[in-house]
A and B are shown apart, each in its own frame.
Chain A
Amino acid sequence: KAGVTQTPRYLIKTRGQQVTLSCSPISGHRSVSWYQQTPGQGLQFLFEYFSETQRNKGNFPGRFSGRQFSNSRSEMNVSTLELGDSALYLCASTYYRVGTDTQYFGPGTRLTVL
């Protein structure tokens, strides 16, 4: 069974630009969640999607958004990038619920904002 894949793996952008990251979950998994990891704040929950609906959202500004398609693939978008958005962005998939099922993480996308 193929694991969770994320594209691209590395990305360099400048302030003010926008970026879209993609996540393909394990086949059969319907829940996809996104996380931001920085040296200062550690891992933080961004949002979770299930059956194309956002079920929960962390404490991030509206510049961070996402969506999920009918095949469970998910994208997250960050608009008007700021230097502080430089981070490792991880997605994880699970069959049903992010809090109570084993999470399978992708390798992450490392975003650098200059």
Chain B
Amino acid sequence: KNEVEQSPQNLTAQEGEFITINCSYSVGISALHWLQQHPGGGIVSLFMLSSGKKKHGRLIATINIQEKHSSLHITASHPRDSAVYICAVGSPDKLIFGTGTRLQVFP
């Protein structure tokens, strides 16, 4: 069993829909990261959180430390949100990655 599990693996949506991507982990962590990877490979860090909730524009990330679970929400999705979203859990000196969720948003 992977230490970091993401669901769903693939997600398609119509523009404007509310999107949720889930991440569960089985190891102790210092922080959890949400990353976005566009075609071509570039990775951008969206959030890093160790408790509670963070919001940036249309993106919201939450984490429940007791349940070892995090969610990434996208409100009012747009075609430019199409990308792979990767959850990664951090111990102080390394990151363990989930397998990613491929999101496609259609106009």
Contact = CB atoms under 8 A, between A and B. Distances in A.
Contacts of A43: 86, 88, 97, 100
For chain B, which range describes its interface: under 10, 10 to 19, 20 to 34, or 35 or more residues? 20 to 34
Highest count of chain A CB atoms <10 Å: which of B29, B31, B95, B99: B95
Contacts of A100: 30-31, 48, 50, 90, 92
Contacts of A92: 43
Interface string B16-55: 0000000000000111010100000111110010100000
B37 to A, nearest CB: 9
Contacts of B56: none
Contacts of B96: 45
B41 A88 contact: yes
B94 interface: yes
A58 B94 contact: yes
Contacts of A97: 30, 90, 92-93
A78 interface: no
Contacts of B29: 99
B93 A48 contact: yes
Interface stretch (A22-30, A66-74, A102-110): A102-110
B44 A105 contact: yes
Interface string B60-74: 000000000000000
A42 B97 contact: yes
A32 interface: no
A41 to B, nearest CB: 9
Nearest to A57: B94
Interface of B: 29-31, 33, 35, 41-45, 48, 50, 86, 88-100
